[in-house]
Structure 1
Amino acid sequence: MFAFLLIVQTLVAGSLVGVILMQRSEGGGLGVGGSSSGFMTARGAADFLTRSTSVLGGLFIVLSIVMAAIAGATRVPAKIDTSLAKTAAPLERSQPATPAQSVPTQQQPAQNQQLPAVPLAQ
């Protein structure tokens, strides 16, 4: 439904651009002059283009509001993929640490201390 409305709105927008460019402006624009014996008189063509511009503009606004409502109503909450999350390995301690063992002194250098495993940033 949303894709169909998007296509319709694209066609309406293209038609609106074409109708606006066909209107006669003070600088000439892309307006095509016609003879009085032709299909439409200049005044009739101006009235038709003005009416079609207002109808297409209104249709464009209505379609925009409807599509925004549909997009807001059918929104699915985002799911976070946790399959790639890495967890740090727990530290293994054979004995509980005592205050004397946890703080190395200058006389007793720290040797063979294991650092906790930290996952690398991707």
Structure 2
Amino acid sequence: MENVVLIVHLILALSLIGVVLLQRSEGGGLGMGGGGGGVMSGRAAATALGKVTWGLAAAFIVTSIALTIIAAENSAGGSVLDRLSGSAPAQDSAPSTDLGGGSLLPPSASDGPIVPQAE
């Protein structure tokens, strides 16, 4: 169910982007006005695209809320902070990083020169 709502949500998002980009610029936000002409008049096209935009936006919001509800139902029931403070992973379970030289940090000046050991 979650996958179906997510796919519909993504299709709505892409459709909403496309419809918004098709609309004529009514203000001088970027200094470019829309040109005239076309089969429909400018006002009729703006009204039709406006209605489609409002419909897609409403459906986008509904799917957003639905995805939030689905995610809340699938959650473990606790907070992320509860899980972090509840049990810290043990340091002993980390993989060994011993490369034969002990520490992985660079030597400090007080360590003296590094002398290879003969085997």
TM-score by length of 1: 0.55
Shift of 1:63: 0.6
Q: Which residue matches 1:34? A: 37
Instruction: Report the structure number with the largest CA radius of gyration.
Output: 1
More helix by share: 2
Query: Percent of aligned positions with the same letter in both sequences?
Result: 40
Quote the Cα distance in structure 2 between the aligned partners of 1:22 and 1:34.
Answer: 14
Quote the Cα distance in structure 1 between the aligned partners of 2:71 and 2:93.
Answer: 36
Shift of 1:58: 0.9
Shift of 1:33: 4.2
Q: Which has the higher contact order (CA 8 A, sep 6+)?
A: 2
Q: For structure 1, list consecutive stretches of 5 or more residues without a partner in the other structure.
A: 79-84, 87-118
Quote the Cα distance in structure 1 between the aligned partners of 2:63 and 2:92.
Answer: 49
> What are the Cα deviations for residues 23-57 of structure 1, in whole angstroms up to 9, with x where unaligned?
1113447x67433xx2x222111001111111111
Q: For structure 2, list consecutive stretches of 5 or more residues without a partner in the other structure.
A: 79-88, 95-119
TM-score by length of 2: 0.56
Q: Provide the aligned C-alpha RMSD in A.
A: 2.8
Asked if 2 retains the 8 angstrom alpha-carbon contact of 1:15 and 1:56, the reply is: yes
Q: Which residue matches 1:16? A: 16
Aligned residues: 81
Amino acid at match of 1:34: G
